[in-house]
Amino acid sequence: MSKISAIADLGTNTFQLLISPLFEFWVVEHLQRPVGLGMGAMEEVTLQEDAMDRAIACLKEFKQVFLAKGGDLNHFYAIGTSILRRASNSREFQERVFSELGIRIRIIDGIQEAEYIYDGIRNSLPERWGKTSLVMDIGGGSVEFILFKGQQVLYRVSLEIGGLRLKSLFSVDNEFNLSVVPDLDAYVSKEMKPLLEACREEKPTVLIGAAGAFETILDIENRPGETPASCELDVPTFLQHKTNLDALRYEERVGYPGMKAFRASIFPYATFLVEKVLRELAINELWFSSYSLKEGFWFTELQSSINQP
């Protein structure tokens, strides 16, 4: 096999690993682990010891998988996002990762994160995509939005309204409950105001969801065996599942067909955000893209190496 790269997305809730050749993009391995690095850290914004231990164990696994496939740690890229941007002890965690595993973590700001996500999604869509579109990537800590038309980015922003963040602010007995929706809506409306204003001016007709919760939206549509780079989702089906899931207790939501157990707790917050964007902007077309930050990093940072010896 040719030289390979590993790109690890260290999210607030989930860690993901993409292994791909350095000189040609295709997926050698894709792993996803529910680490919960941000658990207990949303209010004081301090990484908890048990969360850091879980993160170290996950990165150790990622490293072992990469090396077993012939990888070189010089081509292992670990990317830190929302929680590692904000945590008071982020530097301590980074130093521990390097000391124990020899992996350096690259912390990126919200705008850089949005740019990588956009580059990933652009490479997943059908050719000659000309619709004015809004990209949405829902993480545990932040949500990245990119408004674009053709090759032109019209607006981009990173908002601290991710699923785990919203759950820490609006929950009953630490779980979603329909009673929190009015306060949740007021909070999100305030945070989203500049985004909604920009979108009302440019009038996107498509919402494109990047990976994460949108994978579960695809799964609950019951499309067995389908893992497309991108595809259209059925909005009425999504809204019906959202209504069903919002009324369930956590224990019932875990068993819902197509639900990933580690997403069940924060999924209602994610679907609240999706439904709000669709409704506020009168968007009737919803797409899923399996490409996001990791793939965008490859196309942005590694593709330039293709013609090098």
Check whether 292 has a pLDDT greater than 80.
yes
Q: What pLDDT is stored for residue 228 in this prediction?
A: 81
Closest CA to 85 of 129, 37, 17: 37
Averaged pLDDT, 29-39: 95
- Residue-wise pLDDT for 122-149, tens only, equals 999 998 899 999 999 999 999 999 999 9
CATH architecture of 4-107: 2-Layer Sandwich (3.30)
Q: Is the pLDDT of residue 242 over 50?
A: yes
The candidate with the shortest Cα–Cα distance to 66, out of 97, 96, 99, 21, is 21
For 28, which DSSP code?
Answer: S
Average pLDDT of the segment spanning 27-52: 92
Cβ(83)–Cβ(41) below 8 Å: yes
How much helix, strand and coil, in percent to the nearest 5, is found in the chain?
Answer: 45, 20, 35
| CATH number, domain 111-293 | 3.30.420.150
Whose tokens are 């157990």? That residue is 261
Question: Which residues on adjacent β-strands are paired with residue 5?
Answer: 20
Distance CA 28, CA 21 (A): 7
Q: Which residues contact 241 (CB under 8 A, 6 or more apart)?
A: 217, 220, 221, 271
The domains of the chain are located at: 4-107, 111-293
Task: Evaluate if residue 165 carries a pLDDT over 50.
Answer: yes
Over the stretch 204-222, which tens digit does the pLDDT of each residue have? 999 999 978 999 999 998 7
Domains 4-107 and 111-293 share a fold: yes
pLDDT of res. 309: 47
Do the strands 105-107 and 133-138 form a parallel or antiparallel pair, or are they unpaired?
A: unpaired
Q: What is the pTM of this model?
A: 0.91
- Tens digit of each residue's pLDDT (9 = 90 or more) over 177-210: 999 999 999 999 999 999 999 999 999 999 999 9
- Given CA atoms 167, 172, 175, 180 in this order, what sign does their dihedral have? negative
Which residues, 6+ apart, have CB-to-CB distance to 220 below 8 Å?
A: 241, 256, 257, 258, 259
| Residues pairing with 21 in the sheet | 4
